[in-house]
Amino acid sequence: MKKASDVRKIISYLPEEAGIYPRLTGLEYLKFMANLYAKDRGEVEEMVNEGLKIASLGDKIREKTATYSKGMKRRLLIARALMVRPKLAILDEPTSGLDVLHAYHVRRIIKEYVKQQGLTVILSSHNMLEVDFLCDRVALIHDGQIVVEGSPHALKETYEAKNLEEVFAKVTGHG
Amino acid sequence: MVRHLKVVVLKEIKELIRDPRILVGVIIIPLVIFPLMGQLFSIATEATLREMRVIPVALIDEDRSEFSYMLLEMLRRVPNIVLVSLSSQNWIEEALNNSVKAVIKVSQGFASNLSNGLRGNIEVYLVIKSLGMGEVGVGSTVDEILGSFSKMVSTAMISKHAPNANAPTILEPIIVSDKTIVKGEVVDVSPKGFISALLSQTMVIPIVTMLLMIMAAQIAVTSIAVEKEEKTLETLLTLPVKRVTILWGKLIGSTIVAAISVIAYMVGFNYYMSIVLSQQQMPAISTSYIGIPFEGYAVLAISLFLSLMSMLALAILLGAYAQDVRSAQSLIGILFIPILVPTFILMYADPLSLPLSLQIILYLIPFSHPIIAVKSIIFGNYLISMFGLLYNMAFMVVVLYVAARFFSSEKVVTARITLGQRGTKTS
Query: In this structure, what are the phi and psi dihedrals at residue B56, rounded to the nearest 5 degrees?
Result: -75, 120
What residues of B are in contact with residue A70 (Cβ under 8 Å)? none
Query: How close, in Å, is residue B232 to chain A by CA atoms?
Result: 5
Average pLDDT of chain A to the nearest whole number: 90
**B127 CB neighbour count, 10 Å cutoff:** 16
- Asked if the Cβ–Cβ distance from B230 to A19 is below 8 Å, we say yes
Question: Pick from A50, A33, A14, A17: which is nearest to A123 by CA?
Answer: A14
Pairing of strands B81-84, B55-61: parallel
Cross-chain residue pair A11–B3, CB shorter than 8 Å: no
Alpha-carbon distance values, B256 to B197, B201, B308 (Å): 32, 25, 11
Query: Tens digits of per-residue pLDDT, B164-198?
Result: 888 888 888 898 888 888 777 787 777 777 777 67
Q: Kindly tell me the sign of the dihedral angle through the C-alpha atoms of B16, B18, B21, B22.
A: positive
A17 chain-B contacts, CB cut-off 8 A: 231, 234
Task: Return the pLDDT at B283.
Answer: 55
Q: What is the pLDDT of residues B244-255, one digit of tens each?
A: 898 899 889 988
Q: What pLDDT score does A148 carry?
A: 92
B184 φ/ψ angles, rounded to the nearest 5 degrees: 80, 5
- Mind telling me how many Å the CA of B52 is from chain A's nearest CA? 54
pLDDT digits (tens, 9 = 90+) for A63-72: 999 999 988 9
Examine the pLDDT at B233 and tell me if it is beyond 60.
Answer: yes
Q: How far is B4 from chain A (nearest CA, A)?
A: 6
pLDDT value of residue B427 = 39
Q: What angle do CA B246, B365, B312 make, to 5 degrees?
A: 15
DSSP string, B138-163: HHHHHHHHHHHHHHHHHHHHHHHH-T
Which residues face A148 on adjacent strands? A140
CA B370 to chain centre: 18
The 10s digit of each residue's pLDDT in B36-76 is 887 887 788 787 788 778 889 999 988 989 889 999 999 99
Q: Which of 175-234 (B) contact A at CB < 8 A?
A: 230-232, 234
| Best CA proximity match to B87, nearest among B67, B51, B62 | B62
3-class secondary structure, A25: strand
Write down the pLDDT at residue B425. 44
Most confident of A47-56, B133-142, B228-237, B316-325: A47-56
CA distance A91 to A12: 8
| Chain A contact set for B409 (CB, 8 A) | none
Minimal CA–CA distance to B262: which of B37, B28, B27?
A: B27
Query: Is residue B157 scored above 60 in pLDDT?
Result: yes
pLDDT, one tens digit per residue, over B82-134 is 988 887 778 888 888 888 889 999 988 999 998 888 888 899 998 887 776 67
Ranking B7-11, B72-76, B138-142 by mean pLDDT, the lowest is B138-142
Q: CA-CA distance, B254 to A82, in Å (whole number)?
A: 31
Confidence of residue B279 (pLDDT cuts 50, 70, 90): low
Q: What is the pLDDT of residue B418?
A: 62
pLDDT < 70 positions in chain A: 1-2, 5, 175
d(CA A129, CA A101): 15
**Chain-chain contact of A64 with B18 (C-beta, under 8 angstroms):** yes
Is the predicted pLDDT of residue B137 greater than 90, yes or no? no
User: What's the mean pLDDT when you consider all of chain B?
Assistant: 82
**Range list of β-strands (E), B311-361:** none
A32·B235 Cβ contact <8 A: no
Q: In this predicted structure, what is the pLDDT of residue B95?
A: 87
Q: B343-356 burial string, b = 16+ CB within 10 Å, else e? A: bebbbeeebeeeee
Amino acid, res. A74: R
Q: What is the pLDDT of residues B352-376, one digit of tens each?
A: 888 999 989 989 998 888 888 877 8
pLDDT grade for B426, boundaries at 50, 70 and 90: very low
Please name which of A74, A79, A63 lies closest in space to residue B18, comparing C-alpha atoms: A63
Strand partners, B180: B187
Q: Test B11 with A37 for CB contact under 8 angstroms.
A: no
**What is the C-alpha separation between B248 and B270, in angstroms, rounded?**
32
Residue from the list A9, A14, A15 with its beta carbon closest to the beta carbon of B240: A9
The model's pLDDT over B370-403, given as tens digits with 9 standing for 90+, comes to: 888 877 877 777 888 888 899 999 999 999 899 8
What residues in B contact A22, CB-CB < 8 Å? 230
CB-nearest to B234 from A18, A23, A35 is A18
Interface touch A21/B232, C-beta < 8 Å: yes
- Residue type for position B377: I
Look at A19 and B19 and tell me if their CB atoms are within 8 Å: no
- pLDDT band for position B230 (cuts 50, 70, 90): confident
Q: B239 and A14: CB-CB below 8 Å?
A: no
Task: Report all structural domains of chain B as residue ranges with CATH numbers, in order of start.
Answer: 2-40+191-426 (no CATH), 52-171 (3.40.1710.10)
Residue B301 and residue B308: Cα distance in Å, rounded? 10
Interface confidence, given as ipTM, is 0.85
Distance from CA of A39 to the nearest CA of B (A): 10
Comparing alpha-carbon positions, the chain B residue that sits nearest to A18 is: B231
Residues of A in contact with B234 (CB under 8 A): 15, 17-18
Task: Check if B409 contacts A (Cβ < 8 Å).
Answer: no
pLDDT at B202: 65
Judge whether A15 is closer than 8 Å to chain B, CB to CB. yes
- Please answer yes or no on whether A36 and B231 come within 8 Å at the CB atom: no
CA–CA distances in Å: residue B417 to residues B41, B237, B405, B409: 44, 21, 19, 17
Pairing mode of beta strands A88-92, A120-124: parallel
Pairing type for strands B122-126 and B102-106 reads antiparallel
Contacts of A15 in chain B (CB under 8 A): 231, 234-235
